[in-house]
Amino acid sequence: MKTSSSTPHDRGRPETIRQMFDEIAPTYDRLNRVLSFGLDRRWRHKAVELLSGKVGGSFLDIAAGSGDVALDLGALRPRSIVASDFAFNMLSVFRKKLGTAHREGVALVSCDAHSLPFRDASFDGTIVAFGIRNFADRLRSLQEMLRVLKPDGISVILELTQPTLPVAAQLYRAYSRWGIPAIGKFISKNSSAYSYLPSSISKFPDEREFLSLMTQAGFTSPNATPLTFGAATIYSGRKR
Ligand SMILES: C[S@@+](CC[C@H](N)C(=O)[O-])C[C@H]1O[C@@H](n2cnc3c(N)ncnc32)[C@H](O)[C@@H]1O
């Protein structure tokens, strides 16, 4: 049986976050589908749609993991896609999915979102899906996204959030307290990773705070779109 050597209390440390994702990589896609009732796919499509004004452009998928967003970006007939992540096993799952047929124009880069190894103004669009919640310094990661964007480029951030509508919030609380850890443990055999998930969602800033963080990072007119009663939110912002 696979076990995790760290506890949920250690989870703020980048090294343990990376280790956790390396451990859950083999079951990550299956668990995503099950835990989100298949909604994760729809949420990613919607997030990628916000980049549709940049058809034919160059895109950076940050914290790309097993690559589902990078695959969706293919619909924008991109000139290039860079899928970056610091967990090697997550990127390996993506490499297998890509096979040999679709590799052209897609680069996989192992790096930390807080210090992107790309030149200023390299991309027409950047996107991070379900990743920023795990970053130790969100402001710094937003500043990095902005730095690598070309002028008028767009950054899109999709993240799991807490519903605000009272009934939805109550159902969500019960599901995140009992459902997510139990299902997560059953499928991944990693109990701490799926206790960490609801706790990291509950610690994520609310809409007003996150929009203000985007403004602080330098994005112009940041915007939020709640999805499925607020169980996920898409944030977007432009570079002047
Ligand atoms: C929940 S997964 C999301 C994967 C993918 N974007 C998706 O839509 O399914 C979070 C990913 O963020 C990556 N990650 C977390 N912190 C990171 C950091 N500081 N730098 C780079 N990647 C990071 C993890 O390795 C993991 O692959």
Dist. CA 133 → ligand 1 center (Å): 9
- Provide the residue-wise pLDDT of the chain in tens; the chain has 240 residues: 333 333 333 445 667 999 999 999 999 999 999 999 999 999 999 999 999 999 999 999 999 999 999 999 999 999 999 999 999 999 999 999 998 656 778 999 999 999 999 999 999 999 999 999 999 999 999 999 999 999 999 999 999 999 988 999 999 989 988 899 899 888 888 888 888 889 999 999 999 999 999 999 999 989 999 999 999 999 999 999
> 188 near 158, Cβ under 8 Å?
no
CA-to-CA separations, 32 to 13, 58, 184, in angstroms, rounded: 23, 27, 9
> 158 near 47, Cβ under 8 Å?
yes
Q: What is the CA radius of gyration of the chain?
A: 17
Dist. CA 228 → ligand 1 center (Å): 22
What residues pair up with 226 in beta bridges, in sequence order? 233
Dist. CA 174 → ligand 1 center (Å): 25
Could you list the beta-strand ranges (E) of the chain. Answer: 58-62, 80-85, 106-110, 123-129, 149-160, 220-227, 232-238
The pLDDT of residue 210 = 98
The pLDDT of residue 100 = 66
Pocket test residue of 40, 130, 137, 157 for ligand 1, highest count of atoms within 8 A of CB: 130
The CB of 83 under 6 Å from ligand 1? The reply is no
The pLDDT of residue 10 = 42
Q: How many CA atoms lie within 13 A of 95 on its CB side?
A: 12
The yes/no answer on whether domain 14-238 falls in CATH 2.40.10.120 is no
Model confidence, pTM: 0.92
Tell me the domain boundaries of the chain: 14-238
> 144 near 126, Cβ under 8 Å?
no
The CB of 86 under 6 Å from ligand 1? The reply is yes
Pocket test residue of 18, 35, 161, 204 for ligand 1, highest count of atoms within 8 A of CB: 18
The CB of 90 under 6 Å from ligand 1? The reply is yes
The CB of 47 under 6 Å from ligand 1? The reply is no
Phi and psi, residue 109, nearest 5°: -125, 130
* Structure-token pair, residue 6: 């760290």
The CB of 23 under 6 Å from ligand 1? The reply is no
The CB of 134 under 6 Å from ligand 1? The reply is yes
